[in-house]
Each structure stands twice: as structure tokens, then as C-alpha cells.
Amino acid sequence: MVSDPIIQIRGLRTQFGPKVIHDGLDLDVMRGEILGVVGGSGTGKSVLLRSIVGLLRPAAGTITVDGIDVLAPSAEGRARLGGLWGVMFQDGALFSTLTVCENVEVPMRPLDLSPPVRRALAELKISMSGLPPDAGDKFPSELSGGMKKRAGLARALALDPAIVFLDEPTAGLDPIGAAEFDRLIRGLTDALGLTVFLVTHDLDTLHACCDRIAVLAEKRVLATGTIAELRRLSHPWVHDYFNGPRARAAFDPATKA
């Protein structure tokens, strides 16, 4: 894995009215890694994701993605950002009146592609996401929760992005479905050389997928590291999260036997 950062955040401050969510937040996301982002309720995990992709404007700080200033991009930089990342939101955020295939085609519409080419590319992304071929012509209301997430992932992959942002990708899935999705993410990352920014609370996902983990607490990134490194920290929340009964069940081989 190349060790240079593809995302750099410095001095980030985000707030809603008087409520400050992040203050002085710094974070590097390394090229080619899966970075898990964890934190207690209200620490702004999804807020951070939305700030990076330009859906929320912070009160202060800088965000650069692949050398582009996200908050004040040049015309060339703005054009590059459009194809640099894909985003899968927690509920899939699919358009209910469009089929799965049409949903995946949405990011391709600004491109000079014929309808048959768009359709073929959408079908390829649907296949990559692990959906059956007939899923392309189904509407979101006809899909299970797990299939909606895979459709959302297919749309995130539509433009062959370098970075994929995943917001609670396994939330609401049964253990078998969650494990399958974890393997899918790990496999796609390795095969395509993706960088993945993964917001999650799922300890099994952290263990199965993530190269490093960033812990949000006290309005900043309190710590980053591997699971083994974070388990050695003495901060009360970090210690309880990574050493509690559920963490031991997820991380310790002896408890899985």
C-alpha cells in the first residue's frame, strides 16, 4: 500500500448554529487503505464524511483530496472531483422512481455516452456489487435491505472512482449479510486499488475490512491506528470500545471458537 495521503484535513471546524461538532480536527487518509471511522453518538462521523465530499461547508479548516482544495477548487479541480469519488449513503439513497440500472446510470448522464453504453456500464457495476443480473430492472421498493445497499454501492462505483465513501454500510443487515458485504468491500478494494472511507459502528466490519481506524472524540480525531494499537490506549471511551465484551468477541480468535 502506497503511504502518501490522498485526503488531508487540517484544523476542521464544523458547527450548526452554536453547536460545535468538530474543532481543530486533523486527519490523513492514506492512498489505497480502508480507513474505518468510529466514535460515539454525536461525534460527527457522517458530518465529517459530508464535509469531505462538499455537502457541508465547514466554518474553518482545509480539506484537500488528491491535491485539490475541496473548499475552493479551481475549474479544473472541480471537474476532476466529480469523478474522483463515489458515495454510498446509509440507506442507499436510491431514487424510488428509477430502476436499479437507471439509478446507477445517474452519475454517468453528464458524460457523452450513448444509452446502450451507459446501460452496459451500469450492468457491469451491478454485477461487481454482487447483485443478480435481473436486479437491474427492479425498483428500490422490490429490493431487500441488503440489495438496496449493494445497489447504492454499484452507483458509487459508476464512474470508476479512486475513493469510495461508505456511511454505515452494514447497518440493519443480518450477521450473514453483513459478513458478505464486508468481504465484498475488501475484495473490491484489493482488486480495484480503491481508497475507502468507511463510517461504521460494526466491530466485525472493523476487524474484517479496515487497515486503520480513526476515533472521533472530544470534537477531533483522538487517535488513529490499527485495532491492536487502539486496544492499548488508556482513554476511557477508546478502551471500553475496543476492549469490551463485544470487541473481544469480534477481535479475539479464542472467543470465536
**Residue percentage of the chain with pLDDT more than 70:** 96
> Does 1 score more than 60 pLDDT?
no
Q: What pLDDT, on the 0 to 100 scale, is given for residue 106? A: 93
Q: For residue range 158-170, what is the model confidence (pLDDT) as tens digits?
A: 999 999 999 999 9
Query: Is 53 part of a structural domain of the chain?
Result: yes
> Does 255 score more than 60 pLDDT?
no
State how many domains the chain has.
Answer: 1
Q: What pLDDT, on the 0 to 100 scale, is given for residue 229? A: 95
Query: Which residues span the domain enclosing 17?
Result: 5-224
Mean pLDDT in the chain? Answer: 91
Classify residue 106 by burial, with Cβ atoms within 10 Å: 0-12, 13-18, 19+.
middle
Q: How far are the Cα atoms of 5, 102, 212, 216, 232 from residue 236, in angstroms, in the given order? A: 29, 47, 20, 13, 11
Q: What pLDDT, on the 0 to 100 scale, is given for residue 2? A: 45
Matching residue, cell 486503520: 212
**Overall average pLDDT of the 122-136 stretch:** 94
Query: Is 242 part of a structural domain of the chain?
Result: no
Supply the CATH number for residue 30's domain.
Answer: 3.40.50.300
Q: For residue range 181-237, what is the model confidence (pLDDT) as tens digits?
A: 999 999 999 999 999 999 999 999 999 999 999 999 999 999 999 999 999 999 999
Q: For residue range 90-99, what is the model confidence (pLDDT) as tens digits?
A: 776 899 999 9
Q: For residue range 22-77, what is the model confidence (pLDDT) as tens digits?
A: 999 999 999 999 999 999 999 999 999 999 999 999 999 999 999 999 998 887 88
Q: What does the block give as the cell for 108?
A: 454517468
Query: Is 160 part of a structural domain of the chain?
Result: yes
User: Helices 115-128 and 145-156 sit at what angle, rounded to 10 degrees?
Assistant: 120
Query: Is 67 part of a structural domain of the chain?
Result: yes
Query: Is 147 part of a structural domain of the chain?
Result: yes
